[in-house]
């Protein structure tokens, strides 16, 4: 069965960086993009971007451009999301999710399987 298992909770100081991992299993890792979404306390989800593991191509939300890097390791079927220059506004639960390839007109695009979430707290 498809599974995405994320790394554990993190506490960081303002100005630091955080790197969250997302270990996948149960499907062909290189066939599906990995999407990253975050959710601040009491807020709705916020799309951060995605990466295509086969090519390494990324698409980041403008809001995070220059501060986020998404990568994958195809030898371990794991995706990573690094966010730098953290502020208290980055306190949130970060999710990875498998997305459809969208590579054809009828191909699915939306995120179907999700990781359990990683809580990142930024506090001095």
Partner 1 sequence: DNVLTQSPDSLAVSLGERATINCKSSQSVLYSANNKNYLAWYQQKPGQPPKLLFYWASTRESGVPDRFSGSGSGTDFTLTISSLQADDVGVYYCHQYDSFPYTFGQGTKLEIK
Where along the sequence are the contacts to partner 1 (CB under 8 A)?
Answer: 35, 44-47, 49, 59, 61-63, 95, 97, 105-106, 108-112, 114-117
- Phi and psi dihedrals of 122, rounded to 5? -110, 115
* Angstrom distance (rounded) from CA 113 to CA 117: 12
In the complex, what is the shortest distance from the CB of residue 66 to partner 1, in angstroms, rounded to a whole number? Answer: 15
Nearer to partner 1, 47 or 54 (CB): 47
Nearer to partner 1, 75 or 104 (CB): 104
Nearer to partner 1, 42 or 87 (CB): 42
Burial (CB count within 10 angstroms: exposed 0-12, middle 13-18, buried 19+), residue 88: exposed
DSSP 1: -
In the complex, what is the shortest distance from the CB of residue 124 to partner 1, in angstroms, rounded to a whole number? Answer: 26
In the complex, what is the shortest distance from the CB of residue 24 to partner 1, in angstroms, rounded to a whole number? Answer: 14
* Angstrom distance (rounded) from CA 74 to CA 41: 32
- Which residue(s) pair with 119 in the sheet? 93
Q: Are 58 and 48 in contact (CB under 8 A)?
A: no
Nearer to partner 1, 2 or 11 (CB): 2
In the complex, what is the shortest distance from the CB of residue 73 to partner 1, in angstroms, rounded to a whole number? Answer: 22
């Amino acid at each position: 069965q498809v599974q995405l298992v994320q790394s554990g909770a993190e506490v960081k100081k303002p100005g630091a960086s955080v790197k969250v991992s997302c270990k996948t299993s149960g499907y062909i890792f290189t066939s599906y993009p990995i999407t990253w979404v975050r959710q601040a306390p009491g807020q709705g989800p916020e799309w951060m971007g995605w990466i295509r593991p086969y090519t390494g191509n990324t698409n980041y939300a403008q809001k995070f451009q220059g501060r986020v890097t998404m990568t994958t390791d195809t030898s371990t079927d794991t995706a990573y999301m690094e966010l730098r220059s953290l502020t208290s506004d980055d306190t949130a639960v970060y999710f990875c999710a498998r997305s459809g390839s969208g590579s054809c007109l009828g191909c699915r695009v939306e995120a179907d399987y999700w990781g359990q979430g990683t809580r990142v707290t930024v506090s001095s």
